[in-house]
Structure 1
Amino acid sequence: MPAEALMALAGAGATALIGAMATDAWQGARGGIVRLFGRDNQGRGAVVAAQLDEDAALVGRADPAEEDHVREDLVPVWRRRLVVLLEEQPEAEEDLRGLVERVRGGLPDERRTWVQHNTARDNGTLFAVQGGSLHYHRAPGDGPSAPPRPERGEPEEGTERA
């Protein structure tokens, strides 16, 4: 599976899993993830079950004003764990896709989508992404504070034409 597709699936899985915590969809989501991780190693499934229970307790104990922040903190952790699972067990891809669809279908409406607000101010540049990675590269000298590059055929500043 290409890296982008792997990250997207793991992100969808993590988002659905964390969205299900403290909802009626939680037990199905939890059981599906434990089965995925425990396919080849039942001990690993038990460890994942304990991690899930601990994280669900964090969400359950969170003040309503902080609950979304707790969930946001947990998504990258579970995305990374799911990436590792898919790298180790590529055959788990279809099972994870099916689990994501079942969990999403059982989520309350307010947990089916995530909203992200981004603001750039004072000549700032904003790059945002949900459930994936963003790679941005700037060449030296590029950007708003860099002097303009000479047009083709013009000598660079400090040099003369021959």
Structure 2
Amino acid sequence: MVPEAITALAGTGAGALVSAMASDAWQTGRDGAVRLFRRRADAQRALLEGQLDHHATLVERADDPDGARQLIVGQWQLELVQLLTEHPDAEPELRRLVEEVQSELPRGGKNWVMTNIARDHGTAYGVMGGNVIHYHQGMPPEPPTGEDPRP
């Protein structure tokens, strides 16, 4: 089983790489990916380079580039999981690539939207770009009855 940290880093790397396709950050993303995949055999590396170029062309020609990116990001996550599993020494290089690509992407493309809805005495916790840690012991208190508990 692949450790969660590898899967998460590969997902971040794939997201950055695919986001760079058909953008001004593409050359940085492509060059970085080629450097990462230099650890693979020549035939496999050439195949991956061709796939990178093909996917970038698909995104560039798509009526909905973001939809195209969503369809191919999983393949690159899988490739990066495999690479990190076989070559754990590639992790720092992948992290640098993510930082480089993200710094070149337009800022407007980094907008997030989150909607949280809690119903029927529920509780909703949400965070963007951080963590939520909630510890709860015992049974939750009874919901309010609408009566004033003061004498």
Q: CA deviation at 1:82?
A: 0.4
Tell me, in whole angstroms, the C-alpha distance in 2 between the residues paired with 1:47 and 1:114: 34
Match of residue 59 from structure 1: 59
Taking the aligned partners of 1:15 and 1:7, their CA distance within structure 2 comes to 12
Residue in structure 2 matched with residue 31 of structure 1 by the alignment: 31
Q: 3-state SS of the aligned residue for 1:23?
A: coil
CA shift for structure 1 position 60: 0.4
Instruction: Give distance in 2, aligned partners of 1:108 and 1:57.
Output: 20
Of 100, 105, 112, 2:98 maps to: 100
SS in 2 for 1:22: coil
In the alignment, the residues of structure 2 paired with residue 12 and residue 21 of structure 1 have an alpha-carbon distance, to the nearest angstrom, of 15
Show structure 2 runs of 5+ residues with no match.
118-151
| Whole-angstrom distance in 2 between the partners of 1:72 and 1:54 | 15
The percentage of aligned residue pairs carrying the same residue is 49
Deviation at 1:33, TM superposition (A): 0.5
| Equivalent in the alignment of 1:18 | 18
CA distance in 2, matches of 1:11, 1:115: 19
State the SS of the aligned residue for 1:50: helix
Q: RMSD of aligned C-alpha atoms? A: 2.2
TM-score by length of 1: 0.65
Aligned position for 1:71 = 69
Name the TM-score, length of structure 2 as normaliser.
0.69
Shift in Å, 1:85:
0.5
In 1, the alpha carbon distance for the partners of 2:116 and 2:69 equals: 18
Number of the residue aligned with 2:86: 88
Give the letter aligned to residue 101 of structure 2: V
Post-superposition offset of 1:38: 1.5
Q: Which has the higher helix share?
A: 2
The runs of at least 4 aligned residues of structure 1 exceeding 6 Å deviation read: 116-119
